[in-house]
Amino acid sequence: MIDRLVEEGMGFDEAALGLYLAWKKGEIELLEPQPPENFMGYMLSLRSLWFWLLSSLIAVSLSLVFLVSRPPLVYVRYILGSIFVLYLPGSMLIEALYPRGEELEPLERLALSIGLSLAVVPLIGLVLNYTPWGIRLTPVSISLAIFTGAMAIIALRRKYIYFRLSLEGAR
């Protein structure tokens, strides 16, 4: 469609912006030529890129937490550790609760993510306090990784269900 508008004399940027604005207003609907058929296909599509980036971020954070204790990488550990504790658990809980993108504004998602992380992380610590492992670096890190990963999988599944329902509604 952009090619047709460009052939008519419109610039590529103008055509793309016009199509984006028409899609945003609901005047046109954009469909994938071959949407994923099942959950595994959805999981391997670009729609779930956020999931793979999150999984990589969790793996890198855990690697830095357990393997790095000296500068200069210790500063990266501090930054990723802060994101891992103060943002990711709440963010994945918000994604699991509100899988559609248009339900919350980005600023609301950010505020709720930080607030829920500040609520969930102490609860995980409270539960760990009554286990034989206690509150130490390894159990806390692994528990947060498990919680965040579980919420991400739930969010991915809910986004897939919403995706399938939106495809059926478009037909």
pLDDT for 7 equals 78
pLDDT for 102 equals 83
Neighbour-count burial of 75, counting CB atoms closer than 10 A to its CB (0-12 exposed, 13-18 middle, 19+ buried): exposed
pLDDT for 158 equals 96
User: Any idea of the CA torsion for 123, 124, 127, 132, to the nearest 10 degrees?
Assistant: -150
**Whole-number Å distance between alpha carbons of 169 and 161:** 12
User: Any idea of the CA torsion for 117, 50, 98, 168, to the nearest 10 degrees?
Assistant: -170
pLDDT for 167 equals 83
> What are the residue ranges spanned by the domains of the chain?
1-30, 35-170
pLDDT for 65 equals 92
CB neighbours of residue 52 within 10 Å: 13
pLDDT for 9 equals 80
One digit per residue, the tens of pLDDT, for the chain of length 171 reads 667 777 788 888 888 888 888 888 988 877 777 888 899 999 999 999 999 999 999 999 999 999 998 899 999 999 999 999 999 999 999 999 999 888 899 999 999 999 999 999 999 999 999 999 999 999 999 999 999 999 999 999 999 999 999 888 765
